[in-house]
With several copies, the nearest count.
Chain A
Amino acid sequence: MKTVFSRPQALTNKPLHYCPGCGHGIIHRLVAEVIDELGIREKTIGTCPVGCAVVANEYFNVDMQQAAHGRSPAVATGIKRVLPDRVVFTYQGDGDLASIGMTEVVHAAARGELITTIFVNNAIYGMTGGQMAPTSLLGQFTTTTPYGRKKELQGSPIRVAEMLATLEGAVYIARMSVHNATHVMRTKRAIKRAFETQLEGKGYSLVEILSTCPTNWGLSPVEATKWLADNMIPYYPLGEIKVAAAVEGIN
């Protein structure tokens, strides 16, 4: 018998608490699969965001630290600087990374910190019940944009990947999506490349992943994947946004 698909080693057996159909579950699994495939489970340390994934420490079967809201890149920097031969990643939501934690991610990227960020962009604050995120789309209804997000009042959503790509220290920046199986597989390849970028000491790497929050979007999980494809992808183009020359050889 050959195992085609099973629970990765880098996840614990704990059932996930995420809502039905939530993208976090898929993304957790992808990160764990990559860790398994690279054989780095025993030398990987991750950070949890404040957000729905705050208890990711219970799911990832690697050493984990919960960071204060938005500070994951700084926490990861602290870890990586004292343990330079370990693999360090941050797992962050769009509120965590693009709102309160913007300074930290920009500076980790600018420093070319040898860490990898998994950035889950679900265009909303999931954990706190559906408030606007910096990545919420224009017109999107959230509990803090009850009349729809308006450019004049709340400004336009931030394209994090493109913004960070302007920094020299950020050498691998990709935007992927988990709304269907094909893109799930692409996302996994990007995550792998990001970790490899770190393993080869090239610089900072980040994969932005468009993900669903069926609960706070008020949609069924299947509708949510469609909403993502129809609304998010046009504003957030997918692909490898930046592959610095140094990284091009990898993979």
Chain B
Amino acid sequence: MVEMIMHVELCKGCGLCQATCPQDLLSTSDQVNSKGFYPVVLLDKAKCTGCALCARMCPDLVIEIHKQTA
């Protein structure tokens, strides 16, 4: 099981994570955060492989990923 923590207040809605996700799981919220940006949201938690490519592209350290150790 993958646990993804989104620090939405840091998100600037740049879309780089979204463009990167091989599973196309990321989308933009329609609610601005306190900085006035539309932060990213994970659409389908279950499908997330925890590959962390999204996190690697994120310039703002929004995405934190943990995995259930087997």
On A, residues with C-beta under 8 Å from B are: 1-7, 11, 15-16, 18-26, 29, 180-181, 184-185, 214, 220-222, 225
Contact = CB atoms under 8 A, between A and B. Distances in A.
B15 A181 contact: no
A25 B68 CA distance: 28
Interface of B: 2-3, 9-10, 12-16, 18-20, 37, 50, 52-53, 55-61, 63-69
Contact of B12 (A5, A6, A20): A20
Given A184-B56, A225-B19, A11 B61 contact: yes
B47 to A, nearest CB: 16
Task: From B9, B12, B37, name the one whose CB has the most chain A CB atoms within 10 angstroms.
Answer: B12
Contacts of A5: 52, 55-56, 63-65
23 contacts: A1-B68, A2-B67, A2-B68, A3-B64, A3-B66, A4-B2, A4-B65, A5-B56, A5-B65, A11-B61, A15-B9, A16-B59, A16-B61, A19-B12, A20-B12, A20-B14, A22-B59, A26-B57, A29-B61, A222-B15, A222-B18, A225-B16, A225-B19
B5 to A, nearest CB: 8
B15 A21 contact: yes
Nearest to A32: B61
Given A15-B9, A181-B20, A184-B57, 18 more contacts: A1-B3, A1-B68, A2-B66, A3-B66, A4-B2, A4-B50, A4-B66, A5-B64, A6-B64, A21-B16, A21-B59, A25-B59, A26-B58, A181-B57, A184-B56, A214-B14, A221-B15, A222-B19
Contacts of B52: 4-5
**3 shortest A-B CB distances, which residue pairs?**
A25-B59, A21-B14, A20-B12
A180 B53 CA distance: 9
Task: State the majority secondary structure of interface residues on A.
Answer: mixed
Contacts of B53: 181
Contacts of A29: 59, 61
